[in-house]
Structure formats: structure tokens, C-alpha cells
Amino acid sequence: MQVTFEDLNLSKQLFNAIDDLGFEKPTPIQAEAFSVVRSGKDVVGIAQTGTGKTFAYMMPILRDLKYSVQQHPRVLVLVPTRELVLQVVEEIEKLAKYITLRVEGVYGGTNINTQKRAIAQGTDVVVATPGRLYDLALSKALNLKSIQKLVIDEVDVMLDLGFRFQLLNIFEILPERRQNIMFSATMTDDVDALITDYFKSPKKVSIAVSGTPLDNIAQQCYDVPNFFTKVNLLNHLLKDKETYKKVLVFVAFKRSADLLFASLDNSYADEICVIHSNKTQNYRIRSIRQFDEGMNRILVATDVMARGLDFEEVSHVINFDTPKFPENYMHRIGRTGRAEQEGHSILFSTEKEQEHKAAIETLMDVEIPKLSLPEEVEISKQLTEDERPREDGEISKNRTKLEYVPGPAFHEKSEKNKKTNQGGSYRREIAKKYKKPKTRGDKNYNKRNKKRK
Ligand code: AMP
């Protein structure tokens, strides 16, 4: 049955605001999250930007937020970028059209004193990037003792950008009795670890990822013993330039993205680019553009960085590793076979990854046809650090260690590094502005382009 806004038991003011916006019915995530968020339990929502997720958490929060003249905010929304702060504030203001609500957006890179003065007027809802929020709290300009609801939006991006340490600092200064609400587009090991460590038996809400792959995506898989044999297999496949015209290679971690990039055959050096959150913004923008426009045949990307990007005519998605969360596999392979064209997906799995492959097959209710390793592919004996047995006999945990290292104090990222994850159109817009490479990370790019000319 279709849920309507009438079914949601909204207040008259919220209902009228939504009516003015012309929304006909709640989006699936809004329908599902409403009562769960209202229940006061911790909530983990899996939804991407564009699904109406901001209203999904704000409708139930505003439904129960009483009018107050108190100075300190009761709701805190943390987001990874300044652009998102502005966007979320705007959405809240639309929803609160008929409510007396004080919303303040704060982010780094701008005058902190102006923000201090604004906060001193009293606020109900603060939308913030973690670094600036922490600075404001430490300087006592912002008192967080009344926070009842903490929303962390785009948590996967936040962790990928290395904000874990800042988040933990903020948790420390928030009241213990509060509701935690988290939204993420993808599940990653880091998101999973954060939930396990800091959430109290959270309720999960998600838009059911369709387990039905598009008919026009041909799927295949290989069992491959280890990372370097996977590299050999990929090198082998990529030789066939006629078939592998535009290849998106997915890896779960930035470390493996770099290692793969460095290990691939030199003969592909001119055709390959890589994107993950440790690359400079300009480098990423250019890589994406070059891949999209066909100047580079191969793009290596992490799950988080590749989301929101819409490429045309990707001939093959290669899953260099097997996603632990089957939904990520569905997101990955959806990048090929767009617009009715035939797409191809190839999955590489080690012995250890077989259980993840089984979970994917269960979700799809399809067995992925298996191919034997071509004879030309050499089986490598070399093991990565993660694959080597540790002294205590365990295989080391496949986690991005970087994110657990405290960053340089609590400062916001510099302006250029912050403007990330705004989706394809944003990147392309920026890309237009920065045609020429400008940063140190671009050395290789310069070399390559010289060669090409
Ligand atoms: P978000 O996923 O929160 O970034 O929202 C994406 C866009 O969808 C925003 O412009 C919202 O204003 C809009 N939106 C939110 N809820 C609805 C709805 N129920 N019907 C139509 N549009 C919506």
C-alpha cells in the first residue's frame, strides 16, 4: 500500500509546508524512517542523496520538537562538507516554514566570530561540519549540553575523509542520553565499526536495494587465490582493448586502490587513473573527466568515491575485491549496462571472499557463472601485508588504518579538500574551471599528457 503524508501523523504546520512544496507522497525512506525516528531509538538509515533523506530524519524530529526560547540547541546535524551544511539548512527551512524554529549552519573556512554571534542569539537546530562544531564547542561559544538528537549525515563520506577522530571527540562532549541517527549511502567496514562501537541496538531503515540485477548486465566471476594474482588477471584482461573499452575497477579500500594502481602493467600507464579520498580534489575531478570523455580507458575507484558519479557507456565493471556488503555489489554493477546498453560485470574472489560472494548470490537469487583462470595468468606467490598470516596466526584486519590515526588536531580541511562528493554534475562544473593541472599530485598527469601530445 502506498503511504501518504496523511498516514504519517504530521503536525498541521509540517503538513502545510509539504503541501506548499508540492510533494505528493513520502519517498520510501521517509515512509520507513518516520515512526522509527519518532520512537527515540538509535537509527541507521541507508540512503543516498536524492532519496529525500533530509526530510526523512527532519520530519519526525520537527514533529516532536517543542517550541522553546532556550538558548542552547537541542538538535545537532553533522555533515561532511560546507555545501551540505547549506543544503541541509535550506531543506530544514523549507520544512519549518510554519514553525518558529531557529536553524544555524556552521562550517570552517569562514569567520568564526560571525558564527559565534549568530549562535549567541539562541538556536534550536545546528547543522555543522565536525571541525568547526568542535572549535565552537571548545571555545564555549556553543553549549551542547541540551542536545537530544544527533544526526550524522553521509557518514560513509565523513569516515572516508578521515573525520572519525573528530566524531569521537564530539561524542565525548555530547550528553550521554541522546538519540543517534545516522545516514549513509553505502555500508563500509568503518561505518559498521562506528555503529557497533557507539550505537545502542540501532534500528536499520533502508530502501530495499533491488536484488534483481538488470537483465542487460552479463555477470561472470573468477576464483583467484590472492591480490597479486588478481593483478595478473586484470593485466591479462585489459590487453583486449577492443572488448574492454571503458573499464571501472572497484576496490573497497584506498590502500588497495593505490597498490593496484602501482602494480598494474606499465603499458597501461597512459590509460589508467585512480580516485579515492586521499587524492587531491583537482586530480580526482580530472580523472573523472578523462575517464568519462574516453581519454582514459580504465578508472580505479573506491566505493565511496565513485558514488553519485554517472558515467556513460561503461563496458565493464570489474570488482577487484568482493564487497562484504552485497548492496555495494548491486551499486557497483549498476554503473554498467545503462540506458539499455549491454553491460558486463566481472567479480574476483579469493578463498576468504567466497562467503561474501555467496551473500551476493543469495541477494540476487542468481548464481554468477564462473570462469576458469586463463592459462596465461601466472599464479603469484607474493602476498600483501593483509594477506600474510600474522604472528598470532590471524590474518590482519582489512581496515583502513589511516582513519584511526588522529589527524592534525581538529581543524577543518582546507577549502579545496572539502569540496568533495558533490556528485557528477558538481564535479564537472568545477572541472570546467580548472582545466590545467595545478597541484603537486599532478606530476604524473603532466608527464603523461606531454607524452600523448
Ligand atoms: P535529499 O535526498 O534529502 O537530498 O532530497 C532530494 C530532493 O528531494 C530535495 O530537493 C528535496 O526537497 C526533495 N524531496 C524530499 N522529499 C520529497 C518528496 N516526498 N517528494 C518529492 N520531492 C522530495
Per the structure block, which three cell numbers stand in for 257? Answer: 586502490
- In angstroms, what is the span from residue 415 Cα to ligand 1's centroid? 27
Q: Where are the alpha helices (DSSP H) in 65-129?
A: 82-95, 112-120
Q: Is pLDDT at 104 greater than 50 in this prediction?
A: yes
- In angstroms, what is the span from residue 252 Cα to ligand 1's centroid? 29
The residue to mutate among 58, 62, 79, 91, having the most atoms of ligand 1 within 8 angstroms of its beta carbon, is 91
| Percent of the chain at pLDDT exceeding 70 | 83
Q: Is 422:413 a contact under the CB 8 Å cutoff?
A: no
The pLDDT, as a whole number, for residue 280 is 83
| Number of residues assigned to the chain | 453
Higher pLDDT, 181 or 430: 181
CA distances (Å), origin 347, targets 207, 298, 299, 442:
25, 16, 16, 31
What is the mean pLDDT of the segment spanning 221-247? 96
210 band by pLDDT with thresholds 50, 70 and 90: low
Q: Is 319:329 a contact under the CB 8 Å cutoff?
A: yes
What is the mean pLDDT of the segment spanning 100-127? 96
Higher pLDDT, 403 or 261: 261
pLDDT in tens, 325-367: 888 898 899 888 776 678 999 999 999 999 999 999 998 889 9
Instruction: Decide: 52 in ligand 1 pocket, CB within 6 A.
Output: yes
- In angstroms, what is the span from residue 17 Cα to ligand 1's centroid? 13
CB atoms within 10 A of CB 219: 21
Burial zone of 196 (CB within 10 Å; 0-12 exposed, 13-18 middle, 19+ buried): exposed
Coil/strand/helix, residue 273: strand
Nearest to 378 by CA among 222, 228, 241, 244: 228
| Percent of the chain at pLDDT exceeding 90 | 63
Instruction: Decide: 49 in ligand 1 pocket, CB within 6 A.
Output: yes
The residue to mutate among 18, 21, 81, 93, having the most atoms of ligand 1 within 8 angstroms of its beta carbon, is 21
Average pLDDT over the chain, rounded to whole? 84
Instruction: Decide: 27 in ligand 1 pocket, CB within 6 A.
Output: yes
Instruction: Decide: 183 in ligand 1 pocket, CB within 6 A.
Output: no
Coil/strand/helix, residue 283: helix
Considering all CA atoms of the chain, what is the largest pairwise distance in Å, rounded to the nearest integer?
A: 74
Residue-wise DSSP of 333-383: HTTSSGGG--EEEEEEE-STTHHHHHHHHHHHT-PPPEEPPPTTSPPP---
Higher pLDDT, 210 or 7: 7
**CB proximity list for 3: less than 8 A, separation 6 or greater:** 25, 26, 31
Give nearest CA residue, ligand 1 atom 9: 52
Q: Is 438:282 a contact under the CB 8 Å cutoff?
A: yes
What is the mean pLDDT of the segment spanning 251-264? 92
pLDDT in tens, 278-296: 888 788 889 999 999 999 9
Integer Cα distance of 181 and 149 in angstroms: 7
253-269 per-residue burial string, b: 16 or more CB within 10 A, e: under 16 = bbbbbbbbbebbeeebe
Integer Cα distance of 229 and 381 in angstroms: 8
Instruction: Decide: 50 in ligand 1 pocket, CB within 6 A.
Output: yes
- In angstroms, what is the span from residue 27 Cα to ligand 1's centroid? 8
- In angstroms, what is the span from residue 452 Cα to ligand 1's centroid? 44
Integer Cα distance of 365 and 211 in angstroms: 8
Give nearest CA residue, ligand 1 atom 21: 23
Integer Cα distance of 229 and 387 in angstroms: 12
Q: Is pLDDT at 396 greater than 90 in this prediction?
A: no
Integer Cα distance of 159 and 154 in angstroms: 9
CB atoms within 10 A of CB 433: 8
Integer Cα distance of 270 and 449 in angstroms: 8
Integer Cα distance of 93 and 111 in angstroms: 23
Query: Position of cell 520537527?
Result: 62
The pLDDT, as a whole number, for residue 118 is 95
91 band by pLDDT with thresholds 50, 70 and 90: very high
Q: Is 299:250 a contact under the CB 8 Å cutoff?
A: no
Integer Cα distance of 158 and 20 in angstroms: 33
The pLDDT, as a whole number, for residue 62 is 97
Ligand 1 atom showing the smallest separation from residue 54 Cα: 3
Integer Cα distance of 142 and 198 in angstroms: 23
Instruction: Decide: 244 in ligand 1 pocket, CB within 6 A.
Output: no
pLDDT in tens, 30-85: 999 999 999 999 999 988 777 899 999 999 999 999 999 999 999 999 999 888 99
Give 299's strand partners.
Answer: 248, 273
Nearest to 235 by CA among 266, 264, 263, 274: 264
The pLDDT, as a whole number, for residue 42 is 96
Instruction: Decide: 51 in ligand 1 pocket, CB within 6 A.
Output: yes
Ligand 1 atom showing the smallest separation from residue 5 Cα: 19
Give nearest CA residue, ligand 1 atom 13: 52
Q: Is pLDDT at 407 greater than 50 in this prediction?
A: no
The residue to mutate among 23, 30, 87, 157, having the most atoms of ligand 1 within 8 angstroms of its beta carbon, is 23
Integer Cα distance of 200 and 334 in angstroms: 33
Lowest mean pLDDT among 170-179, 184-193, 244-253, 363-372: 184-193
Give nearest CA residue, ligand 1 atom 22: 23
Ligand 1 atom showing the smallest separation from residue 49 Cα: 2
